[in-house]
Amino acid sequence: MNHRVLPERPLPGHAVCLDLRAGGPDDPGAAVRAALDVPQPGGERRFLVVDEAAGLVGHQLLYERLSSYGPAQIVCLAVGAGGDRTLRRTLTLRPPAAGVLWLLDTGGDDKADGWDPSGDAVLRPLVEVLATPEVFDAVLGSLGEVVHGVAVPAVRVLEHDLTDEARARAWRQAVDGLTGPEVPAGSASPEGVPGTLALLLGEGVPRSLSGHDWLPAGGRAGARLAACQEALEDAVDGHDRVRGVAGLLGGAGRDVDLPGDIERLTEELARFRTAVADAFGAAGGTRLTAEHRGLLRERGVELPELPREITRAGIVPALRDHTYDLIGRGLPLRSVAARLSALSARTAPAGSASRLARLDAICGPERLRRLGGRYPFTAGGSRPAAFALTGLLALLAGVWPVLGWILGPAVGVLAAVLAWLMLRHRPNRSPDGRIDGGGATGAAPRLVGGVLGGLAGAGLGQFLGPPVWAGAVALAVSASAVVVLALRDWTRAVDDWWARADPEEAGRIVREIHALVVTTAVHDWLFAEVRHHCSAGAGAVSRLLRGLAETADAYGGGRAPDRGSDWTSDWTSDPAPDRTSDRAARDWASWDDEPAEPTSGPRPGPSPAGGADTTTATWSWDDWSDSGEEDGWADMAEEPPVRNPAASSHAPPSPPSAPHPQSSPHPPSSPQPALAPAPAWLERRYGDGGPALVDTLVGDLVAGTVLLLDGCWAGIERDPGGTEHTAQARRLTELLDDARIRLERDAAASPPPPYEGLRDLGAVTSLAAFTDRSERPDAARLTGVAPDAVARLLLAEDDPGSTVALCGPEHLRLLSHDPLAARQVRFVPEAMRRGAAGDDIWRGTAEGVVWTGAGRHAGILRLVPLRADVVHTVRAEEAGEP
């Protein structure tokens, strides 16, 4: 007996399988004890037992033990011999809690050829079909309706699955889609993050703190700030007084000390900067303590309580939402980890001492030196222009006959006196002369030009002799122009000097320093603990995601099992496998490196029965295109129609000399690995993977990872730095195990039960499609094999010839010939009828069909009862005799 007939670890929700035949790998008693230890969901206990027909009575105690643990249900596959004519079974194997399927050997030449319909080739797929809970319940219920609860099965099954190469490729791409490549950390920005985290990334102030007085006037820093503002106000007020008529002609020029005000402003600004720098250095730690608050209060900085917009307790939930949002956008784990790493670096508290460099940039020695510098005062424009303009005005005043000899030069003297007043009252000179920036107003050019122009005007007036009124008007215009131009030159010169000295820059510096104090107080002092928690939490999640990605990459090299062996047993050959050591032996990626089989010459090929055909043949596309089969399938044109079973139910058909196009959905140009011999009732159809396969696998892995992460946030909240990743790596390995088992079982057509928990994670709205079976892609989009063949098989009439009876011709007389006594179970995976395949092809098949939650097999199980005298129930046994 091949020990790979049964899985050593049952699939979740499936019946527990055990083999009680003689010669098995395990002791029957030990097998029963192991089966009883397997947990089953919902209090249901299903056992699928493979036993020899002659050993049912001898194993009476074992069956009683199985039945004694709760309301157990048992389906027994009793393997008979060719000479068996009666079946003896115990009371325990009676309906409604138990039933027997009797498999009879055909004997004859078939067994000599190596094809044994009651051997492992039959049992392996039959056990997989019957272990499905929906099929198990339907078969057990049907056995309760036949005589004695014993029947001989007649079977026709279609197997829709992936090629090994497609499975390995899809698995590798899914793991790559989950983990992603290494990416640089980059930088974090307030955009695209929850509001709580955006407060930490930016330099804004929470709204509740917008009116807080950070530097009260009674404190050290607040007093310096007030002194700076007062000195600036005095300087601005002095400038306003000096720049007008009062500054030139009145006493304001003698009373206002603009240079002294600017000097005082510079000194107060330097003192304010020193006070702020002292506060930054005194509380420069990464966490705010009561001692730090006291130090800051001594230096004039008053801190409020932590604002309501942000708390330490809200950081981890915000990190969770942000992480789930990034995952929901389709970013792989390493990309999410890189963004969280950038967030961790950005929010890490550096301490207020790090702000000193920014303070120096705002108010450094060079800027203070420029603010306190002495700039000269210049007025009157260029000297030639002043000479010419004054001379022209004096000439105009001198045209008054006779009086022009006096009035003309007098205008020049007036212009020179006004220029001298500008120099005398210049704003860069203190009234006491202590501070003087120097200056020039062009008094001498104006005097010389005015005298010369006035004399020239007097001579011209003597020659022309204008009337008196004309001379008076010319005098008035000339004198007025001299005064107006002097006032204009004074105002322009004062404003130009003020702009070059730029005392108002001190106001901008004060505002920048105050804003820096507020930013530092909020983000380096108030938010220090929160920022530290956020940085540690984001770093912990980043390291966790990177660790999960490394675990997935290391696991992704697992090897797919050969189709000739039981896939579940391959993956669970050890009841408690060592994931680390076993993973290296399962190198799925190595399938891509295996040499392809030749496309001609001796090679294994699928037979019409779905088995392997070793006939020598040359395959070409003509062998497929000339088959005479035409079907108008949409999107699945390469798949052949289902074979109409014409083989006798008494013996398997003889293999043809060349492969038939109905035996496989793939042309010979896509070589397949050699398959184990298949029974006559099993037809295999393998696809290269549909368009939704990889995305579905990635979605499953991502959704499972989200559930895994959901159990980590409490630990990150308690101690971000002490988060242990071993448990998460183990859980991820279990998740990958589950995903790979489902990929092998039904091409991931059925979602795993744990994903139901995603319904409670409102933040992961983009993953909602993976929580609902109705939204999951259908089997055709996952395998690339159309379900038409299954639909046509189920639409076929209830003809016994459509199935292959698992008995020989010599056993037909043991069967009941009542056509109404037989029971039939039609079963199809739910994934085959949902999604893109549509409902049209299933019209008329829904009634009486068992829709299974998972599996790769669909077909018909016909249960033919036996004559009443064939089955004997043994009530007691003494000394080995019934």
Cis-peptide, bond into residue 259, ω within 30° of zero: no
Reading phi first (left if > 0) and then psi (alpha if -120 to 50, else beta), residue 258 is in alpha
What is the secondary structure of 295-337 as a DSSP string?
HHHHTT----PPPTT--GGGHHHHHHHHHHHHHHTT--HHHHH
pLDDT at res. 790: 82
What tokens were used for 75? 């389906």
* CA 628 – CA 618 distance, rounded (Å): 19
- 490, with CB counted inside 10 A (0-12, 13-18, 19+), is buried
Cα distance between residue 684 and residue 613, in whole Å = 13
Last residue of a domain, one of 481, 504, 527: 504
Question: How far apart are the C-alpha atoms of 805 and 864, rounded to whole Å?
Answer: 9
By the 8 A CB rule, do 349 and 528 touch?
Answer: yes
| Residue 122 shares a structural domain with residue 32 | yes
Task: Tell me if 357 is assigned to some domain.
Answer: yes
- Beta strand pairing status for 439-440 and 600-601? unpaired
Residue 513 lies in a domain: yes
Last residue of a domain, which of 519, 540, 561?
540
In this predicted model, what pLDDT tens digit does every residue of 133-177 receive, in sequence order?
A: 999 999 999 999 998 999 999 999 999 899 999 999 999 999 999
As to burial, measured by CB atoms within 10 angstroms (0-12 exposed, 13-18 middle, 19+ buried), residue 400 is buried
- Of the candidates 56, 57, 96, which has an alpha carbon nearest to the alpha carbon of residue 79? 56
CA 100 to chain centre: 51
Q: Based on the domain organization, do 43 and 135 belong to the same domain?
A: yes
- The predicted model scores a pTM of 0.71
What integer pLDDT is reported at residue 426 of this predicted model?
84
Classify residue 557 by burial, with Cβ atoms within 10 Å: 0-12, 13-18, 19+: middle
**Residue 97: what pLDDT?**
92
485 in any annotated domain: yes
- Please indicate, yes or no, if residue 338 is contained in any of the structural domains: no
Residue from 621, 709, 784, 873 nearest 325 by CA: 709
Q: Are residues 407 and 515 in the same domain?
A: no
**Distance (Å, whole) CA 222 – CA 215:** 5
Q: Is residue 525 domain-shared with residue 499, that is, in the same domain?
A: no
In a domain, 268, yes or no: yes
Residue 173 within any structural domain of the chain: no
Residue 767 token pair: 């993953």
With contact defined as beta carbons under 8 Å apart, do 419 and 392 qualify? no
Helix (H, G, I), strand (E, B) or coil at 80: coil
Q: Decide if 721 is inside a domain.
A: no
Q: What is the Cα–Cα distance from 194 to 202, expressed in whole angstroms? A: 12
Cβ burial, residue 594 (10 Å; 0-12/13-18/19+): exposed
Predicted local confidence at residue 143, as pLDDT: 95
Helix/strand/coil for 78: strand
Same domain (yes/no): 465, 399: yes
**Is residue 109 located within the same domain as residue 256?**
no
Q: 709 — phi, psi (to 5°)?
A: -65, -30
- Token couple for 178: 């989950």
Please tell me whether residues 800 and 864 are part of one structural domain.
yes
Q: How far apart are CA 579 and CA 479, in angstroms?
A: 107
Q: Are residues 285 and 258 in the same domain?
A: yes
- State the pLDDT at residue 846: 54
pLDDT of residue 798: 64
Residue 119 CA: distances (Å) to CA of 93, 589, 666: 22, 33, 28
Are 163 and 586 within 8 A, CB to CB?
A: no
Based on the fold, state whether residues 420 and 472 are members of the same structural domain: yes
Same domain membership, residue 528 and residue 487: no
Question: Please, are residues 534 and 319 in contact by the beta-carbon 8 Å criterion?
Answer: yes
Rounded (5°) CA angle 69-72-76: 120
Do 134 and 67 belong to one domain?
yes
d(CA 399, CA 460): 6
- 377-378 and 439-440 beta bridge pairing: parallel
The pLDDT of residue 557? 60
**Residues 6+ away with beta carbon under 8 Å from 317:** 713
Tell me how many domains the chain contains.
3
Task: Say which DSSP state 525 is in.
Answer: I
- For the chain, give me the number of helices (H) and strands (E)? 30, 18
Stretches where the chain sits below pLDDT 50 are 1-2, 106-115, 117-118, 558-673, 756-771, 836-837, 878-882
Tens digits of per-residue pLDDT, 747-791? 888 777 655 444 444 434 344 444 455 577 888 888 888 888 887
Amino acid identity, position 351: G
Domain that holds residue 498: 383-504
- For 121, residues 6+ apart whose C-beta sits below 8 A from its C-beta are 115, 611, 676, 677, 678, 679
Does a structural domain hold residue 814?
yes
**Residue 448, token pair as written in the block:** 């010389």
Is residue 511 domain-shared with residue 477, that is, in the same domain? no
Q: Which two tokens stand for residue 259?
A: 């240079």
